[in-house]
Amino acid sequence: MRARRVPSAAGRGALARNRDGRGMMRSEGAGNGTGGDTMGRIWRLIRVFTVGAMLVGGGSVGIASAQEDDGPVVFTIGSTDEITTLNPLKVYLASEYYILAWSYHLPFSFAPEDLSAVPDLATDVEVSEDGMTFTYTLQGGLTWSDGQPMTAEDMAFTMQMYQDSHAYIFSGYLTLMDSIEAVDETTVVLRSKQPTSLYAGNYLYAYVLPKHVWEGFDRPKQFENYPNVGSGPFLVEEWRTGEFIRMVRNPEWSGPEPYIDEVVWRYFKSQDAVAEALKAGEIDFAYFTAPNIFNSVKDEPNIETMVGVLPSFDEIGMNTGSAYQDPDGAFVPHGDGHPALTDVMVRRAIRMAIDSQQLSEKVYLGYAPPGDTIVPPVTIAGARWEPPEEERLAWDIEAANALLDEAGYLDTDGDGVREMPGGGQPLEFRYFVRTSDQTTIDAAPFVQSWLEQIGIKTEVTAMSSGRLGDVINAGEYDLFDWGWIPDIDPNSILSYFTCDQRPPDGTSYGNNDAYYCNPAYDELFLQQQSELDPQRRLEMIHELQRIFYNDAAYVVKWYSPLLQAYRTDTFTGYIPQPQPEGDLLSGYSRDAILSIRPVGLDVGGGDAGAGGEDEGAGPGTGAETRGVSAGVWIGIGAGVVVLVTAILLLRRRRTGEDEA
């Protein structure tokens, strides 16, 4: 899941402006591209309007009682994090991947056990001897939710659109693609610019969209895609900004029948409110980022908790020179970062002054393993590089001070703050943290104190994720705190730090938020992409990690856990992905959402669909049988609102609230 753990600013200013209500509707005249679904859309609007009118008018909908009366089975998730878009060309937040995973097909998906490649839209791929031609055989007989057939044309069109439109995340998977074409209704041929093994599995983590909906747009990034036309088991029916998103079953879904009818993501203002809603039975499932609040629900009756392990980390990033680097291609120098951070010796000293072990223990209460390199422990076998002792930038205040002394950064006026060599600008850095993640705020005093001990003064400012994304794009920062959830294959996280991934002009998004640029790194990255010998490629991946680690553009604080909690008296059948302790809802595939079912539902030994009682049931199968979901009441204004819930993390950035 190539995603930011919280919102970055991939065009984030425009996104925020579009969320005032206009972002909740289709663009004027866009339609859905079919011209023949008017009545369907009218009935859909009638259903939405009817429910909304009931709520505004003081009416209430009891979910539990509705289910007991053969009403819809509604699974409700609670979170403080909200998605910013339904347009796959603009997604970059982990929370948005859940919508995509449940709405669309991938060429190849991810096995729950280990995230290895399994068929999805594609059933097979044949690779030419030269490693440059990939022939995909697709499923036949699939249908989009509006009734149109799903064919190879959809896959070929989508991948070309991602590449041509520079989709924020998905275009990164297609940098090696030279051409793609649909040979017939179930065959796609992709040709690469150079030999590679990447397109033979699930590296092409890019969702397939309906050509007939998207082909009419000159500027597809402007399409709001709401409600969405998809091929997965659930589709977005209703989105009320700051309140909830409601997904309903896709009547054209031809896979295993879900046990639930609707998924509602309910948004809360605080993690405390999420915890109280879970305790009260108003929601069924929640993600937490604050470990102390997570601990507060651990011993509550009918609540089970799980610490998930994912490819995920949090970092302190540094502005390595947005204002001082040479123009290159689309990149134009911009911003006002401190010039000292262009010096690798200063960055290494900062790395040596920050104790990841203490941060893990005191901020994350021991849930998060201390971090070092940008490839997390959850990755393909043999891909992670462990810094040897002689290269490890371990916590050592004395050595960090000595490094700065040697580099000429001295405190010439005795005020406790070092200056640039020769007695110039003091080392005073802006340090931005996110209001949406309490751990970033809690870590800041530790970091500030340690940096003070090596003669660096910091001014800590907390801001929304959206605002921080804009600041990074503008290059108007020195230090920031954020996090990533990379793909299993390290190619994704390593690709973020090539020179061409820098935010180019002060307003546009780029994955390379540290403005790191090293031509030797770029050259080696391209070589590993075309290396067909697996062992040799792993060696190159190790060297890329070593280069980035020693250049110290990031301080990886910890490998972020996924703190999950759910009620055992409402739903069961959770499937962690990867197993045994991964994401219980899984933004990687549909397996989990198809397996979740009401407690007490007789699934006939697993024959009624995904997640039978004896197979794939996950950690919730021991729950006490008490019938169907507990009542959830959702109110608008002074009334009660309907089924909602919000999903957290995992970006590509973990979503944050969208305050100013």
Q: What is the pLDDT of residue 93?
A: 76
534-571 burial: b if 16+ Cβ within 10 Å, else e: eeebbebbbbbbebbbebbbbbbbbbbbbbbbbbbbbb
The count of other CB atoms within 10 Å of the CB of residue 585 is: 27
Q: What is the pLDDT of residue 59?
A: 34
Lowest mean pLDDT among 18-22, 86-90, 653-657: 18-22
Q: What share of the chain is helix, strand, coil (3-state, %, to 5)?
A: 30, 20, 50
Q: How confident is the model at residue 631 (pLDDT cuts 50, 70, 90)?
A: very low
For the entire predicted model, the pTM comes to: 0.78
Lowest mean pLDDT among 43-52, 479-488, 594-603: 43-52
Q: What is the pLDDT of residue 69?
A: 55
Q: What is the mean pLDDT of residues 219-231?
A: 95
CA 647 to chain centroid: 11
Largest alpha-carbon pair distance within the chain? 79
The count of other CB atoms within 10 Å of the CB of residue 377 is: 15
Q: What is the mean pLDDT of residues 2-25?
A: 31
Contact (Cβ atoms closer than 8 angstroms) between residue 645 and residue 77: yes
**Beta-bridge partners for 110:** 117
pLDDT value at 404 more than 50:
yes
Lowest mean pLDDT among 32-41, 120-129, 425-434, 495-504: 32-41
CA torsion sign for 43, 48, 51, 54 is negative
| Percentage of the chain modeled with pLDDT above 70 | 81
Residue with tokens 């024959």: 607
Strand pairing report for 117-119 and 313-318: unpaired
CA–CA gap between residue 338 and residue 587 (Å, rounded): 38
Arithmetic mean of pLDDT over the chain: 83
Higher pLDDT, 245 or 70: 245
Q: What is the pLDDT of residue 608?
A: 35
637: left (phi over 0), alpha (psi -120 to 50) or beta: left
The structure tokens listed for 435 are 């209001």
Instruction: Tell me the residue type at 411.
Output: D
Q: What is the mean pLDDT of residues 35-59?
A: 35
Lowest mean pLDDT among 310-319, 368-377, 597-606: 597-606
Q: How confident is the model at residue 49 (pLDDT cuts 50, 70, 90)?
A: very low
The predicted-structure confidence for 249-287, as pLDDT tens digits, reads as follows 999 999 999 999 999 999 998 999 999 999 999 999 999
CA–CA gap between residue 337 and residue 341 (Å, rounded): 8
pLDDT value at 32 more than 60:
no
Higher pLDDT, 520 or 587: 520
pLDDT value at 38 more than 90:
no
Q: What is the pLDDT of residue 604?
A: 65
The burial class, CB within 10 Å (0-12 / 13-18 / 19+), for 289 is buried
Q: Beginning with the edge strand found earlier in the chain, give each strand of the sheet holding 74-79 in spatial order.
A: 234-240, 244-249, 262-267, 74-79, 285-288, 561-567, 303-309
CA–CA gap between residue 72 and residue 248 (Å, rounded): 10
Q: What is the mean pLDDT of residues 533-537?
A: 95
- Ranked by mean pLDDT, which of 158-162, 602-606, 631-635 comes out on top? 158-162
Q: Which domains does the chain have, with CATH numbers?
A: 1-104+209-310+564-660 (3.40.190.10), 317-558 (3.10.105.10)
The predicted-structure confidence for 282-319, as pLDDT tens digits, reads as follows 999 999 989 999 999 999 999 999 999 889 999 999 99
Lowest mean pLDDT among 65-69, 553-557, 594-598, 630-634: 630-634
